Chain A
Protein backbone atom coordinates (compact mmCIF):
# COMPACT_ATOMS: atom_id res chain seq x y z
CA UNK A 1 0.00 0.00 0.00
CA UNK A 2 1.07 3.54 -0.61
CA UNK A 3 2.86 5.40 2.16
CA UNK A 4 0.84 7.92 4.10
CA UNK A 5 1.32 11.27 5.71
CA UNK A 6 3.09 11.43 9.04
CA UNK A 7 4.65 8.01 8.61
CA UNK A 8 1.49 6.28 9.85
CA UNK A 9 0.47 3.07 8.20
CA UNK A 10 -2.86 3.05 6.42
CA UNK A 11 -4.41 0.92 9.16
CA UNK A 12 -3.21 3.24 11.90
CA UNK A 13 -4.49 6.23 10.00
CA UNK A 14 -7.87 4.59 9.60
CA UNK A 15 -7.99 3.59 13.23
CA UNK A 16 -7.25 7.13 14.27
CA UNK A 17 -10.08 8.42 12.07
CA UNK A 18 -12.34 5.70 13.45
CA UNK A 19 -11.68 6.96 16.97
CA UNK A 20 -12.80 10.46 16.10
CA UNK A 21 -15.84 9.10 14.29
CA UNK A 22 -16.94 7.07 17.28
CA UNK A 23 -16.07 9.57 20.01
CA UNK A 24 -19.07 11.93 19.56
CA UNK A 25 -21.51 9.02 19.64
CA UNK A 26 -19.92 7.61 22.78
CA UNK A 27 -19.97 11.04 24.39
CA UNK A 28 -23.68 11.39 23.61
CA UNK A 29 -24.44 7.92 24.97
CA UNK A 30 -22.44 8.60 28.10
CA UNK A 31 -24.36 11.81 28.64
CA UNK A 32 -27.88 10.37 28.22
CA UNK A 33 -27.41 6.74 29.29
CA UNK A 34 -24.37 5.95 31.44
CA UNK A 35 -24.40 9.09 33.58
CA UNK A 36 -28.17 9.02 34.33
CA UNK A 37 -27.88 5.31 35.13
CA UNK A 38 -25.09 5.96 37.62
CA UNK A 39 -27.06 8.82 39.14
CA UNK A 40 -30.12 6.58 39.47
CA UNK A 41 -28.04 3.99 41.31
CA UNK A 42 -26.62 6.73 43.52
CA UNK A 43 -30.12 8.09 44.28
CA UNK A 44 -31.19 4.60 45.27
CA UNK A 45 -28.62 4.74 48.07
CA UNK A 46 -29.92 8.05 49.42
CA UNK A 47 -33.13 9.46 50.84
CA UNK A 48 -33.54 12.08 48.09
CA UNK A 49 -37.02 13.58 47.57
CA UNK A 50 -38.49 14.63 44.24
CA UNK A 51 -38.93 18.22 45.39
CA UNK A 52 -35.34 18.53 46.62
CA UNK A 53 -33.01 16.54 44.37
CA UNK A 54 -29.84 17.74 46.06
CA UNK A 55 -30.99 17.47 49.65
CA UNK A 56 -30.62 13.70 49.98
CA UNK A 57 -28.26 11.94 52.35
CA UNK A 58 -26.46 8.66 51.87
CA UNK A 59 -28.35 5.93 53.69
CA UNK A 60 -26.69 2.81 52.31
CA UNK A 61 -28.97 0.02 51.26
CA UNK A 62 -31.92 1.08 53.41
CA UNK A 63 -34.17 1.55 50.37
CA UNK A 64 -33.53 -2.07 49.45
CA UNK A 65 -33.55 -3.65 52.88
CA UNK A 66 -33.06 -2.48 56.40
CA UNK A 67 -33.71 -3.96 59.78
CA UNK A 68 -34.46 -2.34 63.08
CA UNK A 69 -34.58 -4.19 66.35
CA UNK A 70 -37.18 -2.80 68.71
CA UNK A 71 -36.67 -2.76 72.45
CA UNK A 72 -39.15 -5.57 72.79
CA UNK A 73 -36.79 -7.67 70.68
CA UNK A 74 -38.98 -7.60 67.57
CA UNK A 75 -37.21 -7.23 64.24
CA UNK A 76 -38.75 -4.79 61.78
CA UNK A 77 -37.73 -5.27 58.17
CA UNK A 78 -38.20 -2.43 55.71
CA UNK A 79 -37.32 -1.73 52.08
CA UNK A 80 -38.25 -2.85 48.59
CA UNK A 81 -37.10 -6.41 49.12
CA UNK A 82 -39.76 -6.98 51.76
CA UNK A 83 -42.43 -4.89 50.02
CA UNK A 84 -45.30 -7.12 48.86
CA UNK A 85 -46.30 -4.51 46.25
CA UNK A 86 -42.87 -4.81 44.66
CA UNK A 87 -42.96 -8.60 44.57
CA UNK A 88 -46.44 -8.43 43.09
CA UNK A 89 -45.03 -6.20 40.34
CA UNK A 90 -42.10 -8.59 39.77
CA UNK A 91 -44.50 -11.50 39.46
CA UNK A 92 -46.79 -9.54 37.10
CA UNK A 93 -43.87 -8.55 34.89
CA UNK A 94 -42.34 -12.01 34.71
CA UNK A 95 -45.70 -13.64 34.05
CA UNK A 96 -46.52 -11.09 31.39
CA UNK A 97 -43.12 -11.44 29.71
CA UNK A 98 -43.13 -15.23 29.52
CA UNK A 99 -46.76 -15.65 28.45
CA UNK A 100 -46.69 -12.86 25.85
CA UNK A 101 -43.38 -13.93 24.32
CA UNK A 102 -44.50 -17.55 24.26
CA UNK A 103 -47.66 -16.76 22.30
CA UNK A 104 -45.94 -14.21 20.10
CA UNK A 105 -43.32 -16.77 19.14
CA UNK A 106 -45.86 -19.47 18.29
CA UNK A 107 -48.18 -17.12 16.40
CA UNK A 108 -45.26 -15.29 14.81
CA UNK A 109 -43.91 -18.61 13.57
CA UNK A 110 -47.29 -19.48 12.04
CA UNK A 111 -47.61 -16.10 10.33
CA UNK A 112 -44.02 -16.30 9.11
CA UNK A 113 -44.59 -19.76 7.65
CA UNK A 114 -47.69 -18.48 5.86
CA UNK A 115 -45.79 -15.49 4.47
CA UNK A 116 -42.93 -17.74 3.40
CA UNK A 117 -45.27 -19.78 1.20
CA UNK A 118 -45.91 -18.53 -2.30
CA UNK A 119 -49.51 -17.57 -2.86
CA UNK A 120 -51.59 -14.87 -4.48
CA UNK A 121 -51.98 -11.80 -2.31
CA UNK A 122 -48.88 -12.39 -0.20
CA UNK A 123 -47.85 -8.73 -0.51
CA UNK A 124 -51.29 -7.70 0.69
CA UNK A 125 -51.10 -9.94 3.75
CA UNK A 126 -47.65 -8.63 4.62
CA UNK A 127 -48.95 -5.08 4.39
CA UNK A 128 -51.92 -5.98 6.59
CA UNK A 129 -49.79 -7.44 9.37
CA UNK A 130 -47.63 -4.30 9.41
CA UNK A 131 -50.63 -2.25 10.53
CA UNK A 132 -50.70 -3.37 14.20
CA UNK A 133 -46.96 -2.76 14.33
CA UNK A 134 -47.27 0.77 12.91
CA UNK A 135 -49.98 1.89 15.34
CA UNK A 136 -48.53 3.72 18.36
CA UNK A 137 -48.81 1.68 21.57
CA UNK A 138 -50.91 4.32 23.29
CA UNK A 139 -53.33 4.38 20.38
CA UNK A 140 -53.54 0.57 20.42
CA UNK A 141 -54.22 0.68 24.13
CA UNK A 142 -57.07 3.15 23.64
CA UNK A 143 -58.51 1.29 20.64
CA UNK A 144 -58.56 -1.94 22.59
CA UNK A 145 -59.83 -0.26 25.75
CA UNK A 146 -62.83 0.76 23.68
CA UNK A 147 -63.24 -2.67 22.13
CA UNK A 148 -62.94 -4.23 25.58
CA UNK A 149 -65.33 -1.75 27.19
CA UNK A 150 -67.65 -3.59 29.54
CA UNK A 151 -70.94 -2.04 28.39
CA UNK A 152 -70.44 -0.90 24.79
CA UNK A 153 -67.43 -2.97 23.76
CA UNK A 154 -67.58 -4.96 20.56
CA UNK A 155 -65.66 -7.88 22.02
CA UNK A 156 -68.31 -8.62 24.64
CA UNK A 157 -70.91 -8.27 21.90
CA UNK A 158 -69.16 -10.78 19.63
CA UNK A 159 -68.60 -13.24 22.46
CA UNK A 160 -72.20 -12.93 23.67
CA UNK A 161 -73.48 -13.55 20.14
CA UNK A 162 -71.25 -16.58 19.75
CA UNK A 163 -72.35 -17.86 23.13
CA UNK A 164 -68.81 -17.90 24.50
CA UNK A 165 -69.80 -15.88 27.55
CA UNK A 166 -73.19 -15.42 29.18
CA UNK A 167 -72.66 -11.99 30.68
CA UNK A 168 -70.59 -8.94 29.84
CA UNK A 169 -67.06 -8.92 31.22
CA UNK A 170 -65.29 -5.80 32.51
CA UNK A 171 -62.06 -6.85 30.84
CA UNK A 172 -59.77 -4.03 31.90
CA UNK A 173 -61.30 -3.24 35.28
CA UNK A 174 -61.78 -6.72 36.72
CA UNK A 175 -58.83 -8.15 38.65
CA UNK A 176 -59.30 -11.55 37.05
CA UNK A 177 -59.20 -10.41 33.45
CA UNK A 178 -56.99 -7.28 33.45
CA UNK A 179 -53.85 -9.30 32.74
CA UNK A 180 -55.61 -11.11 29.88
CA UNK A 181 -56.53 -7.74 28.40
CA UNK A 182 -52.92 -6.54 28.52
CA UNK A 183 -51.67 -9.81 27.07
CA UNK A 184 -54.26 -9.70 24.29
CA UNK A 185 -53.25 -6.23 23.15
CA UNK A 186 -49.54 -6.91 23.41
CA UNK A 187 -49.78 -10.15 21.46
CA UNK A 188 -51.90 -8.45 18.80
CA UNK A 189 -49.45 -5.58 18.48
CA UNK A 190 -46.16 -7.44 18.60
CA UNK A 191 -46.77 -10.70 16.76
CA UNK A 192 -46.12 -8.94 13.40
CA UNK A 193 -42.67 -7.86 14.55
CA UNK A 194 -41.90 -11.42 15.63
CA UNK A 195 -43.26 -12.78 12.35
CA UNK A 196 -41.05 -10.45 10.29
CA UNK A 197 -37.92 -11.39 12.23
CA UNK A 198 -38.68 -15.09 11.88
CA UNK A 199 -39.57 -14.64 8.21
CA UNK A 200 -36.12 -13.14 7.60
CA UNK A 201 -34.63 -16.28 9.12
CA UNK A 202 -36.89 -18.53 7.05
CA UNK A 203 -35.88 -16.83 3.83
CA UNK A 204 -32.26 -17.75 4.47
CA UNK A 205 -33.10 -21.45 4.34
CA UNK A 206 -32.16 -22.64 0.85
CA UNK A 207 -35.19 -23.73 -1.15
CA UNK A 208 -33.49 -26.83 -2.55
CA UNK A 209 -33.48 -28.41 0.92
CA UNK A 210 -37.27 -28.42 0.79
CA UNK A 211 -37.24 -29.73 -2.76
CA UNK A 212 -34.99 -32.60 -1.73
CA UNK A 213 -37.19 -33.41 1.25
CA UNK A 214 -40.25 -33.35 -0.98
CA UNK A 215 -38.64 -35.72 -3.47
CA UNK A 216 -37.79 -38.10 -0.66
CA UNK A 217 -41.43 -37.92 0.41
CA UNK A 218 -40.71 -36.61 3.90
CA UNK A 219 -43.78 -35.59 5.90
CA UNK A 220 -44.11 -31.74 6.01
CA UNK A 221 -44.44 -31.79 9.81
CA UNK A 222 -41.19 -33.73 10.03
CA UNK A 223 -39.56 -31.32 7.58
CA UNK A 224 -40.53 -28.46 9.86
CA UNK A 225 -39.15 -30.00 13.05
CA UNK A 226 -36.08 -31.67 11.56
CA UNK A 227 -35.00 -29.10 8.96
CA UNK A 228 -36.69 -25.71 9.27
CA UNK A 229 -36.63 -25.30 13.04
CA UNK A 230 -32.95 -26.19 13.55
CA UNK A 231 -31.95 -23.90 10.67
CA UNK A 232 -33.89 -20.88 11.95
CA UNK A 233 -32.90 -21.47 15.57
CA UNK A 234 -30.33 -18.62 15.63
CA UNK A 235 -32.84 -16.14 14.16
CA UNK A 236 -35.48 -17.36 16.59
CA UNK A 237 -33.12 -17.03 19.56
CA UNK A 238 -32.34 -13.41 18.69
CA UNK A 239 -36.00 -12.56 18.09
CA UNK A 240 -37.00 -14.08 21.42
CA UNK A 241 -34.39 -12.20 23.40
CA UNK A 242 -35.30 -8.87 21.79
CA UNK A 243 -38.95 -9.42 22.61
CA UNK A 244 -38.21 -10.65 26.11
CA UNK A 245 -36.20 -7.54 26.96
CA UNK A 246 -38.96 -5.38 25.58
CA UNK A 247 -41.60 -7.24 27.57
CA UNK A 248 -39.68 -7.02 30.85
CA UNK A 249 -39.60 -3.23 30.68
CA UNK A 250 -43.23 -2.75 29.58
CA UNK A 251 -44.74 0.49 30.78
CA UNK A 252 -47.02 2.38 28.39
CA UNK A 253 -49.58 -0.31 27.53
CA UNK A 254 -50.17 -1.22 31.19
CA UNK A 255 -50.25 2.41 32.28
CA UNK A 256 -52.94 3.37 29.77
CA UNK A 257 -55.00 0.19 29.40
CA UNK A 258 -55.33 -0.79 33.07
CA UNK A 259 -54.44 2.25 35.18
CA UNK A 260 -53.88 1.58 38.88
CA UNK A 261 -54.69 -2.10 38.67
CA UNK A 262 -52.67 -4.21 41.09
CA UNK A 263 -53.30 -7.18 38.85
CA UNK A 264 -51.17 -5.78 36.04
CA UNK A 265 -48.81 -3.26 37.64
CA UNK A 266 -45.33 -4.05 36.35
CA UNK A 267 -41.88 -3.19 37.68
CA UNK A 268 -41.57 -0.14 35.41
CA UNK A 269 -45.01 1.13 36.41
CA UNK A 270 -44.45 0.76 40.15
CA UNK A 271 -40.99 2.36 39.98
CA UNK A 272 -42.28 5.42 38.17
CA UNK A 273 -45.27 5.64 40.48
CA UNK A 274 -43.03 5.76 43.55
CA UNK A 275 -40.52 8.10 41.93
CA UNK A 276 -42.86 10.70 40.48
CA UNK A 277 -46.39 10.28 41.83
CA UNK A 278 -45.81 9.18 45.44
CA UNK A 279 -42.80 11.36 46.14
CA UNK A 280 -40.69 8.36 47.15
CA UNK A 281 -38.03 9.31 44.63
CA UNK A 282 -35.13 7.33 46.07
CA UNK A 283 -37.33 4.31 46.77
CA UNK A 284 -38.48 4.28 43.14
CA UNK A 285 -34.86 4.68 42.03
CA UNK A 286 -34.00 1.57 44.05
CA UNK A 287 -36.79 -0.35 42.33
CA UNK A 288 -35.68 0.74 38.87
CA UNK A 289 -32.11 -0.22 39.74
CA UNK A 290 -33.36 -3.67 40.69
CA UNK A 291 -35.20 -3.95 37.37
CA UNK A 292 -31.99 -3.01 35.59
CA UNK A 293 -30.08 -5.65 37.54
CA UNK A 294 -32.68 -8.32 36.81
CA UNK A 295 -32.56 -7.59 33.09
CA UNK A 296 -28.76 -7.53 33.07
CA UNK A 297 -28.60 -10.93 34.77
CA UNK A 298 -31.22 -12.31 32.41
CA UNK A 299 -29.36 -11.15 29.29
CA UNK A 300 -26.01 -12.48 30.48
CA UNK A 301 -27.53 -15.87 31.28
CA UNK A 302 -29.31 -16.06 27.96
CA UNK A 303 -26.24 -15.15 25.92
CA UNK A 304 -24.04 -17.45 27.97
CA UNK A 305 -26.37 -20.45 27.92
CA UNK A 306 -27.63 -20.04 24.39
CA UNK A 307 -24.30 -18.95 22.89
CA UNK A 308 -26.23 -16.34 20.95
CA UNK A 309 -24.13 -14.15 18.70
CA UNK A 310 -25.90 -10.82 18.90
CA UNK A 311 -23.19 -8.65 17.43
CA UNK A 312 -23.48 -10.32 14.04
CA UNK A 313 -19.67 -10.32 13.85
CA UNK A 314 -19.41 -14.11 13.85
CA UNK A 315 -21.16 -14.57 10.54
CA UNK A 316 -18.80 -12.38 8.64
Chain B
Protein backbone atom coordinates (compact mmCIF):
# COMPACT_ATOMS: atom_id res chain seq x y z
CA UNK B 1 0.00 0.00 0.00
CA UNK B 2 2.76 2.46 0.92
CA UNK B 3 4.73 1.46 -2.15
CA UNK B 4 1.69 2.19 -4.26
CA UNK B 5 1.23 5.51 -2.53
CA UNK B 6 4.88 6.41 -3.11
CA UNK B 7 4.54 5.46 -6.75
CA UNK B 8 1.47 7.63 -7.25
CA UNK B 9 3.18 10.56 -5.51
CA UNK B 10 6.21 10.20 -7.77
CA UNK B 11 3.95 9.91 -10.78
CA UNK B 12 2.04 13.01 -9.76
CA UNK B 13 5.16 15.12 -9.35
CA UNK B 14 6.54 13.79 -12.63
CA UNK B 15 3.35 15.06 -14.28
CA UNK B 16 3.79 18.43 -12.56
CA UNK B 17 7.35 18.68 -13.85
CA UNK B 18 6.26 17.81 -17.38
CA UNK B 19 3.56 20.51 -17.29
CA UNK B 20 5.97 23.16 -16.04
CA UNK B 21 8.72 22.27 -18.54
CA UNK B 22 6.31 22.27 -21.47
CA UNK B 23 4.89 25.64 -20.44
CA UNK B 24 8.15 27.42 -19.80
CA UNK B 25 10.64 25.85 -22.18
CA UNK B 26 9.76 27.66 -25.46
CA UNK B 27 10.09 31.05 -23.84
CA UNK B 28 13.27 30.02 -22.07
CA UNK B 29 14.67 28.92 -25.41
CA UNK B 30 13.69 32.23 -27.01
CA UNK B 31 15.69 34.01 -24.30
CA UNK B 32 18.70 31.74 -24.86
CA UNK B 33 18.54 32.39 -28.60
CA UNK B 34 18.14 36.13 -28.17
CA UNK B 35 21.60 36.28 -26.55
CA UNK B 36 23.29 34.27 -29.29
CA UNK B 37 24.84 35.90 -32.34
CA UNK B 38 26.89 34.86 -35.32
CA UNK B 39 27.64 31.18 -35.65
CA UNK B 40 26.56 30.57 -32.05
CA UNK B 41 22.99 31.09 -33.29
CA UNK B 42 23.15 28.05 -35.53
CA UNK B 43 24.20 25.59 -32.88
CA UNK B 44 21.52 24.03 -30.73
CA UNK B 45 22.33 25.14 -27.18
CA UNK B 46 20.17 23.83 -24.38
CA UNK B 47 21.89 26.08 -21.84
CA UNK B 48 22.85 29.72 -22.35
CA UNK B 49 26.41 29.82 -23.68
CA UNK B 50 26.90 33.43 -24.63
CA UNK B 51 25.60 36.75 -23.36
CA UNK B 52 25.70 39.02 -26.34
CA UNK B 53 23.37 42.02 -26.36
CA UNK B 54 23.96 42.45 -30.08
CA UNK B 55 20.48 41.29 -31.10
CA UNK B 56 18.86 43.68 -28.64
CA UNK B 57 21.00 46.53 -29.91
CA UNK B 58 20.10 45.82 -33.50
CA UNK B 59 16.37 45.63 -32.73
CA UNK B 60 16.23 48.73 -30.56
CA UNK B 61 18.74 50.57 -32.74
CA UNK B 62 16.40 50.31 -35.71
CA UNK B 63 14.10 53.30 -35.24
CA UNK B 64 10.94 51.51 -36.29
CA UNK B 65 10.73 48.94 -33.52
CA UNK B 66 10.63 51.56 -30.77
CA UNK B 67 8.08 53.38 -32.85
CA UNK B 68 5.97 50.20 -33.01
CA UNK B 69 6.09 49.86 -29.23
CA UNK B 70 4.88 53.44 -28.85
CA UNK B 71 2.10 52.78 -31.38
CA UNK B 72 0.99 49.65 -29.57
CA UNK B 73 0.98 51.29 -26.14
CA UNK B 74 -0.99 54.26 -27.42
CA UNK B 75 -3.53 52.15 -29.31
CA UNK B 76 -4.10 49.60 -26.56
CA UNK B 77 -4.37 52.23 -23.81
CA UNK B 78 -6.80 54.45 -25.71
CA UNK B 79 -8.98 51.49 -26.69
CA UNK B 80 -9.14 50.15 -23.15
CA UNK B 81 -9.94 53.53 -21.57
CA UNK B 82 -12.72 54.09 -24.09
CA UNK B 83 -14.14 50.59 -23.63
CA UNK B 84 -14.07 50.80 -19.83
CA UNK B 85 -15.74 54.21 -19.92
CA UNK B 86 -18.70 52.86 -21.89
CA UNK B 87 -18.72 49.51 -20.14
CA UNK B 88 -19.04 50.71 -16.54
CA UNK B 89 -22.44 52.35 -17.00
CA UNK B 90 -23.70 49.72 -19.44
CA UNK B 91 -22.77 46.83 -17.19
CA UNK B 92 -24.44 48.52 -14.21
CA UNK B 93 -27.67 48.64 -16.18
CA UNK B 94 -27.24 45.05 -17.37
CA UNK B 95 -26.39 43.66 -13.96
CA UNK B 96 -28.64 45.60 -11.60
CA UNK B 97 -31.72 46.77 -13.45
CA UNK B 98 -34.43 44.34 -14.47
CA UNK B 99 -35.88 45.06 -17.88
CA UNK B 100 -37.34 43.09 -20.74
CA UNK B 101 -34.89 41.70 -23.23
CA UNK B 102 -31.93 41.82 -20.87
CA UNK B 103 -30.97 38.20 -21.44
CA UNK B 104 -31.21 38.69 -25.19
CA UNK B 105 -29.04 41.78 -25.02
CA UNK B 106 -26.40 39.91 -23.03
CA UNK B 107 -26.40 37.12 -25.57
CA UNK B 108 -25.99 39.66 -28.35
CA UNK B 109 -23.01 41.23 -26.64
CA UNK B 110 -21.44 37.81 -26.15
CA UNK B 111 -22.13 37.00 -29.80
CA UNK B 112 -20.26 40.11 -30.93
CA UNK B 113 -17.21 39.19 -28.88
CA UNK B 114 -17.21 35.71 -30.38
CA UNK B 115 -17.71 36.97 -33.89
CA UNK B 116 -15.19 36.05 -36.60
CA UNK B 117 -13.36 39.31 -37.12
CA UNK B 118 -12.82 38.57 -40.78
CA UNK B 119 -16.60 38.97 -41.27
CA UNK B 120 -16.40 42.69 -40.58
CA UNK B 121 -13.07 43.27 -42.30
CA UNK B 122 -14.49 44.41 -45.65
CA UNK B 123 -17.01 46.75 -44.02
CA UNK B 124 -14.47 48.12 -41.57
CA UNK B 125 -12.01 48.66 -44.39
CA UNK B 126 -14.58 50.79 -46.16
CA UNK B 127 -15.33 52.68 -42.92
CA UNK B 128 -11.64 53.28 -42.25
CA UNK B 129 -11.15 54.60 -45.77
CA UNK B 130 -14.31 56.70 -45.55
CA UNK B 131 -13.18 58.32 -42.29
CA UNK B 132 -9.72 58.91 -43.73
CA UNK B 133 -7.97 57.11 -40.88
CA UNK B 134 -6.26 54.39 -42.93
CA UNK B 135 -2.66 53.89 -41.79
CA UNK B 136 -3.19 55.87 -38.57
CA UNK B 137 -3.55 54.56 -35.00
CA UNK B 138 -7.22 55.57 -35.03
CA UNK B 139 -8.06 52.80 -37.48
CA UNK B 140 -6.94 50.25 -34.90
CA UNK B 141 -8.47 52.09 -31.95
CA UNK B 142 -11.84 52.12 -33.68
CA UNK B 143 -11.74 48.51 -34.83
CA UNK B 144 -10.51 47.14 -31.49
CA UNK B 145 -13.72 48.36 -29.88
CA UNK B 146 -15.36 45.35 -31.52
CA UNK B 147 -13.70 42.92 -29.13
CA UNK B 148 -12.67 45.04 -26.11
CA UNK B 149 -16.11 46.55 -25.52
CA UNK B 150 -18.17 43.32 -25.42
CA UNK B 151 -15.48 41.67 -23.31
CA UNK B 152 -15.33 44.47 -20.72
CA UNK B 153 -19.12 44.78 -20.56
CA UNK B 154 -19.46 41.03 -20.11
CA UNK B 155 -16.86 40.66 -17.35
CA UNK B 156 -17.91 43.80 -15.48
CA UNK B 157 -21.54 42.64 -15.60
CA UNK B 158 -20.65 39.39 -13.88
CA UNK B 159 -18.62 41.31 -11.29
CA UNK B 160 -21.45 43.80 -10.63
CA UNK B 161 -24.00 41.01 -10.24
CA UNK B 162 -22.03 39.74 -7.27
CA UNK B 163 -22.03 43.05 -5.37
CA UNK B 164 -24.41 42.88 -2.40
CA UNK B 165 -27.93 44.24 -2.97
CA UNK B 166 -28.00 45.88 0.49
CA UNK B 167 -25.44 48.53 -0.43
CA UNK B 168 -27.50 49.62 -3.40
CA UNK B 169 -30.77 49.54 -1.46
CA UNK B 170 -29.30 51.72 1.23
CA UNK B 171 -28.19 54.23 -1.39
CA UNK B 172 -31.63 54.21 -3.02
CA UNK B 173 -33.31 54.86 0.32
CA UNK B 174 -30.97 57.83 0.72
CA UNK B 175 -32.29 59.10 -2.60
CA UNK B 176 -29.26 58.36 -4.76
CA UNK B 177 -29.81 58.34 -8.52
CA UNK B 178 -28.37 55.49 -10.61
CA UNK B 179 -25.54 57.77 -11.71
CA UNK B 180 -24.62 58.54 -8.10
CA UNK B 181 -24.85 54.84 -7.25
CA UNK B 182 -22.38 53.99 -10.00
CA UNK B 183 -19.86 56.75 -9.40
CA UNK B 184 -20.00 57.06 -5.62
CA UNK B 185 -21.03 53.62 -4.40
CA UNK B 186 -20.01 50.99 -6.94
CA UNK B 187 -16.94 52.45 -8.57
CA UNK B 188 -14.85 52.42 -5.36
CA UNK B 189 -15.80 48.76 -4.89
CA UNK B 190 -15.08 47.95 -8.49
CA UNK B 191 -11.50 49.16 -8.77
CA UNK B 192 -9.97 45.70 -8.58
CA UNK B 193 -12.39 44.42 -11.23
CA UNK B 194 -11.66 47.42 -13.43
CA UNK B 195 -7.92 46.84 -13.22
CA UNK B 196 -8.30 43.16 -14.09
CA UNK B 197 -10.71 43.73 -16.94
CA UNK B 198 -8.65 46.59 -18.26
CA UNK B 199 -5.50 44.51 -18.16
CA UNK B 200 -7.12 41.61 -20.01
CA UNK B 201 -8.57 43.94 -22.63
CA UNK B 202 -5.16 45.62 -22.93
CA UNK B 203 -3.50 42.27 -23.59
CA UNK B 204 -6.14 41.50 -26.22
CA UNK B 205 -5.57 44.82 -27.98
CA UNK B 206 -1.79 44.52 -27.66
CA UNK B 207 -1.81 41.10 -29.34
CA UNK B 208 -4.28 41.83 -32.15
CA UNK B 209 -2.92 41.06 -35.61
CA UNK B 210 -5.57 40.90 -38.36
CA UNK B 211 -6.80 44.51 -38.21
CA UNK B 212 -3.34 45.91 -37.51
CA UNK B 213 -1.97 44.07 -40.52
CA UNK B 214 -4.77 45.23 -42.82
CA UNK B 215 -5.13 48.85 -41.72
CA UNK B 216 -1.45 49.84 -41.80
CA UNK B 217 0.72 50.24 -44.83
CA UNK B 218 3.99 51.78 -43.63
CA UNK B 219 6.62 50.60 -41.17
CA UNK B 220 6.20 53.60 -38.88
CA UNK B 221 2.52 52.91 -38.18
CA UNK B 222 2.87 49.19 -37.46
CA UNK B 223 1.99 47.76 -34.09
CA UNK B 224 4.32 45.35 -32.31
CA UNK B 225 2.76 42.07 -33.52
CA UNK B 226 2.82 43.26 -37.13
CA UNK B 227 6.40 44.50 -36.77
CA UNK B 228 7.53 41.13 -35.40
CA UNK B 229 5.42 39.16 -37.84
CA UNK B 230 6.90 40.99 -40.81
CA UNK B 231 10.46 41.38 -39.52
CA UNK B 232 12.58 40.04 -42.35
CA UNK B 233 16.17 39.99 -43.45
CA UNK B 234 17.89 40.97 -46.64
CA UNK B 235 16.45 37.99 -48.47
CA UNK B 236 13.71 35.42 -48.06
CA UNK B 237 16.19 32.76 -46.95
CA UNK B 238 17.88 35.00 -44.43
CA UNK B 239 15.43 35.20 -41.56
CA UNK B 240 17.00 37.25 -38.73
CA UNK B 241 16.20 34.81 -35.93
CA UNK B 242 18.40 36.51 -33.34
CA UNK B 243 16.73 39.94 -33.59
CA UNK B 244 13.27 38.34 -33.87
CA UNK B 245 13.85 36.49 -30.60
CA UNK B 246 15.20 39.65 -28.95
CA UNK B 247 12.13 41.60 -30.08
CA UNK B 248 9.89 38.80 -28.83
CA UNK B 249 11.54 38.83 -25.42
CA UNK B 250 11.30 42.63 -25.19
CA UNK B 251 7.54 42.69 -25.77
CA UNK B 252 6.77 39.57 -23.77
CA UNK B 253 8.67 40.19 -20.54
CA UNK B 254 6.48 43.14 -19.43
CA UNK B 255 3.34 41.11 -20.17
CA UNK B 256 4.59 38.12 -18.20
CA UNK B 257 5.52 40.31 -15.25
CA UNK B 258 2.08 41.95 -15.28
CA UNK B 259 0.35 38.61 -15.57
CA UNK B 260 2.33 37.13 -12.69
CA UNK B 261 1.63 40.15 -10.47
CA UNK B 262 -2.10 40.05 -11.17
CA UNK B 263 -2.25 36.26 -11.38
CA UNK B 264 -5.16 35.63 -9.07
CA UNK B 265 -7.24 38.50 -10.39
CA UNK B 266 -6.65 37.48 -13.99
CA UNK B 267 -7.80 33.97 -13.34
CA UNK B 268 -10.93 35.38 -11.71
CA UNK B 269 -11.52 37.74 -14.64
CA UNK B 270 -11.01 35.08 -17.28
CA UNK B 271 -13.35 32.66 -15.65
CA UNK B 272 -16.00 35.29 -14.91
CA UNK B 273 -16.65 35.12 -18.65
CA UNK B 274 -19.29 32.46 -18.29
CA UNK B 275 -18.25 29.60 -16.08
CA UNK B 276 -20.40 30.36 -13.12
CA UNK B 277 -22.02 27.09 -12.36
* Contact surface of A with B, Cβ cutoff 8 Å: 1-2, 10-11, 14-15, 17-19, 21-22, 24-25, 28-29, 32-33, 35-40, 43-44, 53, 110-111, 114, 117, 119, 121, 124-144, 146-147, 149, 151-154, 157, 188, 192-193, 196-197, 199-201, 204, 234-235, 238-239, 242, 245-246, 248-249, 251-252, 255-256, 267-268, 271-272, 275-276, 281, 284-285, 288-289, 291-292, 295, 299, 309-316
**Minimum distance in angstroms from B201 CB to a CB of chain A:** 14
| B259 interfacial contact with A, CB 8 Å | yes
Contacts A25-B149, A289-B119 given; does A143 touch B112 at CB 8 Å: no
Contact of A131 among B23, B129, B213, B226 (CB under 8 A): B23
Say yes or no: B225 contacts A137, CB within 8 Å: yes
Complex contact A128–B90 (CB within 8 A): no
Q: Does B10 contact A (CB under 8 A)?
A: no
Q: How far is the CA of A24 from the CA of B149 in the complex (A)?
A: 11
B:119-134 near A, CB below 8 Å: 119-127, 129
B213 contacts which chain A residues (CB < 8 A)?
255
**Residues in A whose Cβ lies below 8 Å from that of B145:** 28-29, 32
CB of A252 within 8 A of CB of B214, answer no
Contacts of B228 in A (CB 8 A): 138-139, 142
CB pair B270–A196 under 8 Å, yes or no, is yes
Q: Which residues of A contact B98 (CB under 8 A)?
A: 11
- B123 pairs with A39, CB closer than 8 A: yes
* Contact status of A28 and B86, CB under 8 A, knowing A40-B119, A313-B103: yes
Binding site for A on B (CB under 8 A): 12-13, 15-16, 19-20, 22-24, 26-27, 29-30, 33, 41-44, 46, 86-87, 89-90, 92-94, 97-99, 102-103, 105-107, 109-112, 114-127, 129, 142-143, 145-146, 149-150, 153, 158, 161, 172-173, 175, 177-179, 203, 206-207, 209-210, 213-214, 224-226, 228-229, 241, 244-245, 248, 251-252, 255-256, 258-260, 263, 266-267, 270-271, 273-277
Are A37 and B209 also in contact (CB < 8 A) when A32-B142, A152-B44 are?
Answer: no
A134, B203: Cβ atoms closer than 8 Å: yes
Assess whether B93 is in contact with A21, with CB atoms less than 8 Å apart: yes
Chain B residues, Cβ within 8 Å of A140: 26
Interface of B is mostly: helix
Say which residue of A143, A234, A313 sits within 8 Å of B26 (CB atoms): A143
Q: Judging by beta carbons under 8 Å apart, are B27 and A131 in contact?
A: yes
Question: Besides the contacts A25-B89, A140-B26, what 7 more A-B pairs have beta carbons closer than 8 Å?
Answer: A17-B97, A24-B90, A133-B259, A134-B259, A138-B226, A234-B277, A291-B119
